[in-house]
């Protein structure tokens, strides 16, 4: 069986690496993007899930969410927001833009894997 493909989007290399190691170790195929623009280029190859930060230079996570929800190929793709933002209004904005899940950094690797499994099962 082909592993599920997950795109992780964050401007911090350390976060992308941690997410990649965590989910790669759980059997997922990981693709990395440095911002929303890079992510939109990479989703064209097909992904099963997107995990994105909110605050990034260039295209941030909320704009990326909007773009993903307007595309027929990613309209229903699960998107988890992984961010340092913990304010309720930011979370509500992300959900309104189409976020499926939310995790605050720093994150527990086991919690991330459990959330990914929940949405990809």
Count up the domains in the chain and report the number.
1
Burial class (CB in 10 A: 0-12, 13-18, 19+), 85: middle
CATH label of the domain that carries residue 95: 3.40.50.2300
Interval 90-113: pLDDT, tens:
899 999 999 999 999 999 999 999
Answer yes or no: are the C-beta atoms of 47 and 31 closer than 8 Å.
yes
Angle between helices 36-43 and 61-70 (to 10 degrees): 30
Range of the domain at 36: 5-120
Q: What is the pLDDT of residue 92?
A: 92
**Residue 40 phi, psi dihedral angles, 5° rounding:** -60, -35
Q: Rounded to whole angstroms, how far apart are CA atoms 46 and 43?
A: 5
- Average pLDDT of adjacent 10-residue blocks, the chain of 121 residues: 94 96 97 97 96 94 96 96 88 93 93 96 86
Average pLDDT, rounded, for the chain: 95
């Amino acid at each position: 069986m082909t592993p599920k493909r997950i795109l992780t989007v964050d401007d911090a290399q350390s976060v992308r690496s941690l997410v990649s190691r965590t989910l790669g170790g759980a059997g997922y195929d990981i693709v990395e993007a440095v911002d929303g623009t890079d992510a939109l280029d990479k989703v064209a190859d097909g992904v099963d899930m997107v995990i994105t930060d909110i605050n990034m230079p260039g295209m941030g996570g909320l704009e990326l969410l909007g773009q993903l929800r307007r595309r027929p190929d990613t309209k229903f793709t699960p998107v988890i927001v992984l961010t340092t933002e913990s304010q309720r209004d930011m979370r509500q904005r992300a959900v309104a833009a189409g976020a499926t899940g939310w995790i605050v950094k720093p994150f527990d690797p086991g919690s991330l894997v459990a959330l990914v499994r929940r949405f990809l099962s």
